[in-house]
Structure 1
């Protein structure tokens, strides 16, 4: 399984903001995307990003995460 949060982080410049979303063309599903939140939280604990917003659907599944790169 690919680490979507880490992929987005490596493409960002320090101080920039981005949305992390599942990409169907790369085989992502909403179910598999839930692990991206865990990965993003780990990056936040390391002080590399700040999670600004977690967008959820009505059923509670995460469908987008807004992050800012700090380092």
Structure 2
């Protein structure tokens, strides 16, 4: 399984903001995307990013995460 949060983080510049979303062309589904939140939390604990917003659907599944790169 790919680490979506790490992929997005590596493409960002310090201080920039990005949305992390599942990419169906790369085989992501909403169910597999839920692990991206765990990856983003790990990056936040390391002080590399700040999770600004977690967008959820009505059923509670995460469908987007807004992050800012700190380092």
TM-score (structure 1 length as normaliser): 1.00
- Could you list the runs of 5+ residues in structure 1 that have no partner in the other structure? none
Tell me how far 1:65 sits from its aligned partner. 0.0
Aligned to 2:25: 25
- Could you list the runs of 5+ residues in structure 2 that have no partner in the other structure? none
Aligned to 1:45: 45
What does residue range 1-16 of structure 1 map to in structure 2 within 5 Å? 1-16=1-16
Tell me how far 1:7 sits from its aligned partner. 0.1
Size of the alignment, in residue pairs?
A: 71
List structure 1 segments (4+ residues) > 4 angstroms apart after TM superposition: none
Tell me how far 1:41 sits from its aligned partner. 0.2
Tell me how far 1:15 sits from its aligned partner. 0.1
TM-score (structure 2 length as normaliser): 1.00
Residue 63 of structure 1 pairs with residue 50 of structure 2: no
Tell me how far 1:11 sits from its aligned partner. 0.1
